[in-house]
Amino acid sequence: MAINSSKTSQERKALHYIEGEWVEGNPPIMGPMTNAAWMASVVFDGVRAFSGLAPDLDRHAARCIASAQVLGLNPPLSTESIVALAWDGIDQFAEGSELYIRPMFYAEDGFVTPKAESTRFVLTLFEAPMPEPRGFNAHLSTVRRPSPESAPTLAKASCLYPQSARALREARDLGFDNAVVLDANGNVSEFATANIFIAQDGVVATPVANGTFLNGITRQRVIGLLRENGIEVAEKSLKYADVAVADEVFSTGNYAKVTPLIGLDDRTLQPGPLYQQARTLYFDWAKTTGRG
């Protein structure tokens, strides 16, 4: 397919598939009458490509379609089509490029309620180096996650992210990198931008998926890998006090994969053996995935 640019793959920073064509830069796709622009009918997903790999690409594509359906959209592409387009895009960057891949569906028409038949699709790939696992610090946020009755929490919907932004702004204003966010019942939900795990006395625990946070694909993968390798992982309700006294705390998410928490409020933590095992298991598994 044609690319509207004369740049070589080594110079390319961002690439978008829009209505059958690959284009570069930051092309306009919405107007002031677009439903998504003022009624937030937008869903997306995030996939990582690195070392010629795109782990769980098919699962991310399938989740994007499911998210669209939660918002009443009618996705015009299948999982298989999104996967094929993503690999087409990956191949147009320099070999081994570290990329963020973002399929997105949005509604063009509708007043409040989006018209399902107006659903559009954009696939974006852009260069984004994998963060080094240096660790981050966090505090307890005053911001809470919404319940499934009050927001479309089962979708990776753009309308949910201003709440994450609130938590991050608060954290950074106080000198922290991130925040532990609770749900409406006072249980730990996740970090503002990733799922949370703790380890205590050789057992890993993570909040049970209760509809207040996205049950991350990397989260699910890490739970499975740890259990397959003999590590007990408990999915249960956690209080902030459980996090505060844990031997280890780490996050999982698509952007940085598995990252250690090294500071919580005024407490210093060290990356521990269960975090190290989770990270090693994930990247060892990723090397086996090929172009699947």
Residue 230 and residue 104 share a domain: no
Residue finishing a domain among 110, 127, 144: 127
pLDDT of residue 242: 98
Residue 279 and residue 144 share a domain: yes
The secondary structure of 72-116 as a DSSP string is T----S-HHHHHHHHHHHHTTSPTT--EEEEEEEEESSEESEE-G
pLDDT of residue 11: 52
**226-262 tens-digit pLDDT:** 999 999 999 999 999 999 999 999 999 999 999 999 9
Residue 85 belongs to a domain: yes
Residue 37 belongs to a domain: yes
Number of domains in the chain: 2
Residue 153 belongs to a domain: yes
How far apart CA 250 and CA 260 sit, in angstroms, is 4
Q: Per-residue pLDDT averaged across 258-287, rounded? A: 97
Q: Per-residue pLDDT averaged across 143-158, rounded? A: 96
Residue 278 and residue 218 share a domain: yes
Residue 120 and residue 18 share a domain: yes
Residues 6+ apart with CB under 8 A from 95: 52
Residue 115 and residue 22 share a domain: yes
Residue 280 and residue 140 share a domain: yes
Residue 115 and residue 205 share a domain: no
Residue 62 and residue 14 share a domain: yes
Q: Would strands 178-182 and 136-144 be described as parallel, antiparallel, or unpaired?
A: parallel
**97-143 tens-digit pLDDT:** 999 999 999 999 999 999 999 999 999 999 999 999 999 999 999 99
Is the pLDDT at 264 greater than 60? The verdict is yes
Residue finishing a domain among 65, 97, 127: 127
Whichever domain contains 107, its CATH number is: 3.30.470.10
Q: Per-residue pLDDT averaged across 181-192, rounded? A: 97
Confidence band for 2, pLDDT divided at 50, 70 and 90 = very low
Supply the range of the domain harboring residue 61.
Answer: 9-127
Residue finishing a domain among 127, 148, 176: 127
- Please tell me which residue, 9 or 163, carries the higher pLDDT value: 163
pLDDT of residue 226: 98
Residue 215 and residue 259 share a domain: yes
Residue 94 and residue 206 share a domain: no
Q: What is the pTM of this model?
A: 0.94
Rg (CA), the chain: 19
Residue 3 belongs to a domain: no
pLDDT of residue 1: 43
Whichever domain contains 220, its CATH number is: 3.20.10.10
